[in-house]
Structure 1
């Protein structure tokens, strides 16, 4: 009771102070919650975020950016200008608000104002993607290739989404020889995005000849290209009908190869990702074909389940018309028939030009040989090892440690 009496005797003024402090505390808490909620909403719902925290320059800048998009009408651009200026009053470092003002100036064809505004944006931050994109466009308009590529480099170094936007444009631009030369010089400095772009170019570059020029020049200047990149380009050149370009590029990769002969007769090459001109094992439906490497040579190990058959190993050729010899040696190939395995050469349209059977290894010391003729109108061929289906319970097994396709008389 004494305690309650003491409370009752507190001055009215003191209670007023306490209530005022409580109201301020509540207001602060509400404001903090509103700002936190607004910041969480800023990406998905900038209008709602701005309504909750109009004094937050970062949120105002985001909303101004949204309203200044490519489809914005005049009213939206005017409002985005107002929001951008308001955002900068609250936060002078809000670079996206500056970029909004610059884009709106450019849309209104006030290029001089846009350049002044974006120069300021560039001083604030080199990480704003819209500033970099505008700078690229402005450099291109002035035919400043070096300046455009500098901004490409900056954007790709500083933005996680820039590659998705800029790689397709850059890959298309290499058809211009001046751009190609400057880009090669830039890639030679090994920017952090360089390997990613080179791989993208090999797989997606719209002009395969220009792509081959870029990759070959980089390699000739001592740049180690991402593993397998070049092997990805060759099938694209072949698919585009650029057979000579495909072979020329391959020859630059593998010194000493002969267009009139198959390659790697002893299966010595140890390639993570072979090109079509290299040996390519075909493993499908339980068939196992592997190239095993020793110290000085290798061999092809084959295992085919019963009642299955088909291609086991392939190498693309670009032979001239004429007569050729297929010769080789097998190990541990057994069976009552001599043609469970055979080598064949086919044209690109599927025509089979002939077969050379692989007899049991116990016969002829495991050696096999035969002749085949390449006709005219057959510029690309497939040299393949094939297995016939067998009902033997053990299936088919064996090894090939040497095979060569060469012109007759050589």
Structure 2
């Protein structure tokens, strides 16, 4: 008979070991959870002082930073107090690479009269992060005070690129500075298609500047007007503003830079399809935006004509076109192919002399189809009523001594049911 020796029981030993192992794992898990919580809290900016000895990974001074900044906002002079400086230094000891902490310490140094020291600290913060608005604004003003326009614009550029939603006052300030020649000179390097804030800047300048001349001069100095669809409206406003201000010489330098503009637009008044394919009014034909008067290019029998009209009870300009005539030019001529009139309707070609304000303009006399009548001004020539003329052809003398001439078609729709209208196959200056 075989006898088996009874083995000692190990169940109790294993259970004891497993319980010890479980306790260790549980303790480690709790510790990791606590540290994870502390780390998450520090990332969210929660202030848990018990974790401060563990370092910045487990303790956030963000709440201290916010409290410090709120204090400055409420009482700016507080930046110069020793308590503020001590807190700012403590923030730096915890976050030496924190741009906000550097900025607060820089404000303290400035408040104590150490502008040079503040500048070094602000520049150090700028090297760490370009997204701190206070730092960029301080550096902009500091550079401007020292006459460093180019440096100020560098910080403008950084702020406008990194904080587009919070920098509208900056873009408006920059737009107004375009009046200054030194600012324009420094701004030319930012006139390029890949500049993300160029559109905002140009739109603000058109709106804020009393005259568009400085803005047009900037594009001339930069030797380009970037082809950006978002700028087409602004380009048109600049052209119209230069015409209104009679800045013809600058217009001739600015206009050829524009996308879809031709240098010859300002010297031609031809009626053809190419004339209406691009350009900016009134350097090209301006047919207006009114629903009761205006014009359109039409085709009839293989020929192209310009139809100009005015509805009944309408009085105003249906079309206009700026031209710089050749030095030898003496007359404006037209050929119409059709017309329609109402009772008391009338239509006139009006040639207005554009010159620098303060210079006297010399009016010419109309011939064959026109005359300088009492309704005209001293610097303009008006035709006779084209709707009552015996012929569809005519000509009139150009105003003399003009740098440029605005050719306008004025119409009175009269009384009736249909528009008063004329269709021109040709208009020329020779």
Aligned to 1:395: 419
Offset of residue 287 of structure 1: 0.8
Aligned to 1:155: 159
Q: 1:121 to 1:206 in 2, by over 3 A?
A: farther
Aligned to 2:242: 237
Offset of residue 371 of structure 1: 1.1
Equivalenced residues, count: 352
Aligned to 1:277: 283
Comparing 391-400 with 85-94, greater Cα deviation is found at: 85-94
* Structure 2 residues without counterparts, runs of 5 or longer: 1-36, 48-58, 355-360, 362-375
Q: Which of 217, 224, 229 lines up with 2:227 in the alignment?
A: 224
Separation (CA, whole Å) in 2 of partners of 1:257 and 1:392 = 40
Matched position secondary structure for 2:340: coil
Separation (CA, whole Å) in 2 of partners of 1:80 and 1:402 = 79
Q: Which of 313, 316, 320 lines up with 1:314 in the alignment?
A: 320
Comparing 315-324 with 104-113, greater Cα deviation is found at: 315-324
Offset of residue 152 of structure 1: 2.2
The equivalences for 1:60-209 within 5 A come to: 60-69=64-73, 72-75=75-78, 77-78=80-81, 81=85, 84-85=88-89, 94-141=98-145, 143-161=147-165, 163-174=167-178, 179-188=183-192, 190-205=194-209, 208-209=212-213
Separation (CA, whole Å) in 2 of partners of 1:399 and 1:217 = 42
TM-score of the pair, normalised by structure 1: 0.67
Aligned to 2:408: 384
Q: 1:391 to 1:176 in 2, by over 3 A?
A: closer
Aligned to 1:12: none
Contact preservation (8 Å) 1:268, 1:293 = no
Matched position secondary structure for 1:131: helix
Offset of residue 354 of structure 1: 1.6
The answer to whether residue 373 in structure 2 is matched with residue 368 in structure 1 is no
Q: 1:215 to 1:316 in 2, by over 3 A?
A: same
Offset of residue 268 of structure 1: 3.2
Matched position secondary structure for 2:123: helix
Offset of residue 339 of structure 1: 6.7
Q: Which of 218, 226, 232 lines up with 1:214 in the alignment?
A: 218
Q: CA RMSD in A?
A: 4.5
Contact preservation (8 Å) 1:304, 1:395 = yes
Q: 1:315 to 1:154 in 2, by over 3 A?
A: same
Contact preservation (8 Å) 1:333, 1:360 = no
Contact preservation (8 Å) 2:172, 2:201 = no
1:122-154 CA-partner distances (Å, limit 9, x unpaired): 244211111112223344455545443332221
Offset of residue 114 of structure 1: 0.9
Offset of residue 239 of structure 1: 4.4
Aligned to 2:332: 326
1:323-354 CA-partner distances (Å, limit 9, x unpaired): 84332233442348897333222457972522
Contact preservation (8 Å) 1:126, 1:154 = yes
Matched position secondary structure for 1:333: strand
Q: 1:107 to 1:246 in 2, by over 3 A?
A: farther
Contact preservation (8 Å) 2:256, 2:263 = yes
Q: 1:127 to 1:36 in 2, by over 3 A?
A: closer
Q: 1:371 to 1:211 in 2, by over 3 A?
A: same
Separation (CA, whole Å) in 2 of partners of 1:391 and 1:90 = 84
* Structure 1 residues without counterparts, runs of 5 or longer: 1-27, 39-54
1:240-265 CA-partner distances (Å, limit 9, x unpaired): 45343234433665555387x65344
Aligned to 2:8: none
The answer to whether residue 382 in structure 2 is matched with residue 354 in structure 1 is yes
Contact preservation (8 Å) 1:332, 1:360 = no
Matched position secondary structure for 1:341: strand
Separation (CA, whole Å) in 1 of partners of 2:270 and 2:234 = 21
Offset of residue 215 of structure 1: 1.0
Comparing 302-311 with 318-327, greater Cα deviation is found at: 318-327
Separation (CA, whole Å) in 2 of partners of 1:59 and 1:270 = 63
